[in-house]
Amino acid sequence: MVSHWVVDSNCFIHLGSMAREGFLLDLDRVLQDNNSGIYLTPGVHDEIRNVRFQRWKNKPNLLEKFSNFLTTITISEGEISDLAGSIGEKSSPQDVDLSLMVLSSKLTKEGHSVTLVSDDYKMTTTAKKVNLQFETCPPSTFLQRLADVGDDSQRSRLRSLSRRVRAAEMKYAISRAGQYDIQKKLTWMVDSLLSTKLGSNKNSEGQDESIEGLLVKALIRSLRGEKVKAAYLKKLGPLPDICSAVTRLDDHLISLTSLGNLEDIRLDYEQCCELLSDVLETTGLGLAPLGEELAEIAHRAMSGYFYRMESAMGMLSRLSGDLKRSRQHLSRALSSATLVDDRGAEMRAMHQLGLLALASKNWDRASQLFEVADRQAQSISANRLSQLVLASIARHLDGKNEIALQHLKSANHILTKNKPEAVKTLIGIGNSLLAVDCPGLAIEILDEAMECAIEVGLNSDLELLAETLLLANNALSEREQLQYEGLRRLLDDLNIISLDSKQEFESAITGIEKKAESLSKPLGDTWKDWQPASNLIPSGSDLVVVRVEKDENDRILVISHHSEIGSIGIWLPDGGIDASPGNILQIHGSRIKVAPPTKTLMQNHNIRGIIGVEDPDSISFVANSEEILDV
């Protein structure tokens, strides 16, 4: 069964004219049961904006009813122009059709099974002309293929609809007989239907796996210590011994994550670098004398280990505040994941890269990363909510409001089905955004999480949400408030709540805002002499890093948050620290001074006071070790 159907406007027009009520229920079930999805580009939205279901009661708008079933992906004008140039101006289809062809080609290159659904035969001929590797079929064949994988009742209804659409296709083609030679188009339409019939009994797993693929799996099992057939071991030769060094990477990560907390992130990162270099050298020395075929098998088998280590190093870099280096490691992690064809790993790496793109305000890149991550999530039946929500935000910030709304409607469909699970997902998104210093975005997501938690009575999560929202509000600058204006109106459609729940939510938010306001005033007590840190910060409590500010002389001001004190700045004029939002800041035994903040610092960072630490070496920045595998 095709996993990705790219559908043009003509197909939707046929459905609007002929599909009866209940069609979308059949479609939803067949797509879900077969892990399939329908994809289109924004231009199709424009072409079918006014199409209605003619046979339905009240004739509802087709696009609105279809919204939960569609994944809309933007194709750049440059990509469309490039394809048009390859085809030739005279024979090139319209821009919307070209965008669908580009999308089909991109999805195919990502490794998906793709069919472009259109009765425009020109799209088939031009795709063959430039060797685009995707299949095409008319809408009637699309419906027939859906029917073939449905249950008995679905099969009957979808086949009936397919026959009606086929009759309309044939009638239209014959009506154009005087304008062009329709024989090839009719042959293509019949062939697509015959291929469906002939291929319906194929084994779902397709052809036998290649020998190389079997040897890769055998080598992976060997590295895991599992039993491998002697025949495979003989073919692998020295590879199990040469590649065994790679298992040290997982052993190190297991020991690192078992620590609970990381108290020296820079040292942990350097140890990972040293180990990775050692493993690469050891395996490289062993593989260098071997032939290309054995080396390729080895690299594919080891890629999972390299993915996990690069991912961990990417997260360690992020935890130390180096987002540029984090991106480098996560990009290499994504490359390794593609070698092992692990869609889950690819999805997680792209998700983290998307967060970094948001942090650098590269909205278009973030959109692309989250959208591809969403397609990977669909292919492995993973929860799509986080990818869709973040893709919606990124598209909105990039000015693509229609696509943003489409993503949000799909997210709402998922959220409505399981709100308790959605609360956990939204809290995770909010914390991830705080960790890349995007508190304005985090607030909007956490607001939605609180709405859902109130609705379903998750009282245990409400206290955590209130505290996290307080931190996010204190971390929010005036500049960010203006930048994200309009986002609230978009996200209001993510979750629709009842009047009673809305009143409870507004009451909770009012309480948080009042507390945030009370904690935004300068500290009442400051002192110029050295005093114990406990005179300000209660013993046993921690400060959470909100932001790290560095000036042109590398002097550092760490903006931190305390649940009872609010935001305060820790002044480190000598610099030299590795920290990022979300780290826990601890002061061990040193005395401190407390000064009032400047007006500028109060406005920019909501801080109530500035702390000087007598012994800067007494400061440690602690991160949860589980975060380094949070990809």
Other Cβ atoms within 10 Å of 596 Cβ, number:
14
- For 396-415, what is the mean pLDDT? 90
Q: Where in the chain is the domain with CATH 3.40.50.1010?
A: 4-199
Task: Give pLDDT, residue 139.
Answer: 93
Whole-number pLDDT of residue 207: 41
Q: What is the average pLDDT across 185-196?
A: 69
| CA gap 482, 207 in Å, rounded | 56
pLDDT at 95: 86
Q: For 574-601, what is the mean pLDDT? A: 86
What dihedral do alpha carbons 608, 610, 611, 617 form, nearest 10°?
120
CA-CA-CA-CA torsion for 445, 447, 449, 455, nearest 10 degrees? -150
> Does the pLDDT of residue 35 top 50, yes or no?
yes
- The residue with tokens 């699970």 is 421
| pLDDT reading at 259 higher than 80 | no
Q: Is the pLDDT of residue 344 over 90?
A: no
Q: How confident is the model at residue 179 (pLDDT cuts 50, 70, 90)?
A: low
pLDDT at 201: 39
What pLDDT, on the 0 to 100 scale, is given for residue 488? 82
pLDDT score of 2: 61
134-145: average pLDDT? 90
Please choose, from the candidates 9, 34, 8, the residue with its C-alpha nearest in 3D space to the C-alpha of residue 158.
34
Q: Looking at 203-207, 258-262, 319-323, which range is the least confident one?
A: 203-207
- Mean pLDDT (the chain) is 86
| Alpha-helical regions (H) of 476-605 | 478-483, 487-491, 499-518, 599-605
- Give, in order, the Cα–Cα distances in Å from 296 to each of 55, 141, 301, 336: 57, 40, 9, 13
In the chain, % helix, strand, coil (3-state, to 5) comes to 65, 10, 25
φ, ψ for residue 137 (rounded to 5)?
Answer: -160, 155
Q: Distance of alpha carbon 492 from its chain centroid, rounded?
A: 21
Tokens of 510: 């009012």
**What pLDDT digit, counting tens, does each position of 70-106 carry?**
888 888 888 888 888 888 755 567 889 999 999 999 8
User: Looking at the predicted structure, is the pLDDT value of residue 631 above 50?
Assistant: no
Give the mean pLDDT of 382-391: 93
Band (20; pLDDT cuts 50, 70, 90): very high
Q: Report whether 627 contacts 355 (CB < 8 A).
A: no
What pTM value is reported for the model? Answer: 0.75
User: What pLDDT score was predicted for residue 463?
Assistant: 86
Considering the domain 527-629 in this protein, what is its CATH number? Answer: 2.40.50
Tokens 């020395």 belong to 285
**By the 8 A CB rule, do 568 and 602 touch?**
no
The DSSP letter of residue 530 is E
What is the spatial distance between Cα 601 and Cα 587, in angstroms, rounded to a whole number?
A: 22
Provide the pLDDT confidence category of residue 200 given band limits of 50, 70 and 90. Answer: very low
Q: What is the mean pLDDT of residues 136-157?
A: 90
Three-state SS at 280: helix
Best CA proximity match to 323, nearest among 442, 438, 436, 472:
436
Domain with CATH 2.40.50 in the chain: 527-629
| pLDDT of 231 higher than 50 | yes
CB-side neighbour CA atoms (13 Å) of 452: 28
Q: Can you tell me whether residue 354 is helix, strand or coil?
A: helix
Give CA separation, 551 vs 54, 554, 621, in Å: 64, 5, 20
The CA–CA distances, whole Å, from 397 to 159, 440, 484 equal 43, 12, 8
Strand partners, 572: 556
pLDDT band at residue 623, thresholds of 50, 70 and 90?
Answer: confident
Residue 208 pLDDT grade (very low, low, confident, very high; cuts 50, 70, 90): very low
> Looking at the predicted structure, is the pLDDT value of residue 154 above 60?
yes
Residue 203, pLDDT > 60, answer no
What is the predicted pLDDT for the residue at 73? 87
Cα–Cα dist 277/269, whole Å: 12
What CATH number belongs to 4-199? Answer: 3.40.50.1010
**420 has a pLDDT exceeding 90:** yes
Q: Cα–Cα distance between 495 and 422 in angstroms, integer?
A: 10
| pLDDT per position as a tens digit, 523-571 | 888 888 999 988 898 887 889 998 888 877 888 899 999 988 888 999 8
473-504 pLDDT tens trace? 888 766 666 566 678 888 888 988 888 888 88
Structure tokens at 379: 């292919």
Among 123-127, 191-195, 337-341, 494-498, the minimum mean pLDDT is found in 191-195
Closest CA to 222 of 241, 200, 204: 241
Helix (H) or strand (E) holding 563: none
pLDDT at 579 over 60: yes
Q: ∠ CA 516-517-519 to the nearest 5 degrees?
A: 65
Percent of the chain whose predicted confidence (pLDDT) is above 90: 43
**Would you say residue 422 has pLDDT above 70?**
yes
What is the sign, positive or negative, of the torsion defined by CA atoms of 460, 463, 464, 466?
positive
Q: State residue 178's pLDDT score.
A: 63
Q: How does residue 204 score in pLDDT terms, banded at 50, 70 and 90? A: very low
